[in-house]
A = this chain, B = another copy of it.
Amino acid sequence: MSEACNTMLSEDDLHYLRRACALARHGLGDVSPNPPVGAVLVRGGEIVGEGWHHGAGLAHAEVEALTAAGELARGATAYVSLEPCNHHGRTGPCARALAERGIARVVFGTRDPNARAAGGAEYLRGAGIETFDAQMREAYRLIEAFAVAAVSDRPYVALKMAASVNGAIAARGGMRRWLTGEEARALVRGLRIEHDAVMVGAGTVRVDDPLLTVRPVHARRVPYRRVVVCEREPIPLDRRVLQRDPQVETVILAPRGRAELFRALEPFVRVVYADDEQGRLDLGAALRALKAMGIHSVLCEGGPTLAASLLALGLVDRLHWLIAPLLIVGAGAVSSVAGGEDFDIGGWRFDEVRALGADAYLSGRLRTEDRCSRD
């Protein structure tokens, strides 16, 4: 069915759908736990209304666009980055609103993965409205974190690394320094805004003492959190992530078996215990605890040990790999991913490979079925 439908989309359709995706992007960082969505209404070759979702509890993109269009909505084509919802949440179902306002045709970028909200396409077709799933990769990327978290008991996890061409992050003993250039750092700042939390291992806090804030300060509706995974020891009290910041809460994930060591941190930060039956830190349990706190997406920024643990457990949904134009060679070179048992993990699919300033940027997902037929 969808294949036949796809052949009926024109270049104009794709153009407006891309515009809807661009509008959706304005919501990144604000809409969690909802997905970002954008909508464009076109009648007689002209845009008569646009909108995007501004945040949970606020109007959906389609309703914003309908409001903007007023009477001009009648007979228009609606381009929506995500399948219009079909459920009564805090707002009414968008599929019904589109039908009631006389929309003649609906083209959406990707299917709603949330069983509770899905069914919009079916509703629209039942109401006699031509409705197409464009299966567009760009639209899916926008809701990728939402799609993973919607069907999982843990948050979506993206792993960001910045390494040399040969995969090292520092020379022997050296303070880790920024390897990558300004464009790469800007990309990382954008990624932080898009995720509900940034996560690092205790080793990274000890060695690099990062602040892990979002710069410039981004007024997220869902607070942005810094998460530090402490497998054994707490981090020192003088670390910058422990500085009080009204914008950013810090969460320490720790094993209950060593709770007495972490008591000293409790006056300053939230300490969440997550462990296996032996009282050791359990990363799966830790991620489930984050989800329970309302964290639907996590950007892990290393270090090597935490990255290896997450990868070994199959807990990484997307890789963001930045490659600086240098080689760091020798027995003292610090590997980007290291620790634990030897293992390899294949089957990544790069969907972005490009130059980024003087650096290179690779991004990909692991072994996911690909139902996007259109780039």
List the interface of chain A (C-beta within 8 A of B). Answer: 161, 163-168, 171-172, 308, 311-312, 319, 321, 323-333, 335-350, 353-355, 358-362, 364
Contact = CB atoms under 8 A, between A and B. Distances in A.
A167 B336 contact: yes
23 contacts: A161-B166, A163-B166, A164-B167, A165-B319, A167-B336, A311-B327, A312-B329, A324-B346, A325-B347, A325-B349, A325-B364, A326-B345, A326-B348, A330-B341, A330-B343, A332-B342, A333-B335, A349-B358, A350-B358, A353-B354, A353-B361, A354-B354, A360-B362
A344 B326 contact: yes
A334 to B, nearest CB: 11
Which interface residue of A325, A338, A362 has the most chain B CB atoms within 10 A? A325
B333 A342 contact: yes
A353 B353 CA distance: 7
Contacts of A172: 342
B350 A326 contact: no
A305 B293 CA distance: 49
A184 to B, nearest CB: 12
A342 B330 contact: yes
Contacts of A342: 171-172, 329-333
Contacts of A330: 308, 338-343
A140 to B, nearest CB: 18
B165 A362 contact: yes
A353 B360 CA distance: 7
A350 B360 contact: yes
A158 to B, nearest CB: 14
A336 to B, nearest CB: 5
Nearest to A168: B167
B350 A353 contact: no
A355 B312 CA distance: 25
Contact of A165 (B321, B343, B358, B361): B321
Contacts of A364: 325
A112 B66 CA distance: 63
B346 A326 contact: yes
Contacts of A336: 166-167
A52 to B, nearest CB: 30
Contacts of A333: 335, 342
A162 to B, nearest CB: 12
B350 A164 contact: no
A166 to B, nearest CB: 4
Which interface residue of A161, A321, A329, A335 has the most chain B CB atoms within 10 A? A329
B327 A350 contact: no
Which interface residue of A163, A330, A340, A345 has the most chain B CB atoms within 10 A? A330
A163 B165 CA distance: 10
Contact of A345 (B312, B329, B337, B345): B329
Contacts of A166: 161, 163, 167, 335-337
B312 A325 contact: no
Contacts of A362: 165, 323, 360
Which interface residue of A165, A331, A332, A360 has the most chain B CB atoms within 10 A? A165
B343 A337 contact: no
A63 to B, nearest CB: 38
B308 A329 contact: yes
A166 B348 CA distance: 13
Contacts of A337: 166, 327, 329
Return the 4 tightest CB-CB contacts between A and B, nearest first. Answer: A167-B167, A330-B342, A325-B348, A326-B346
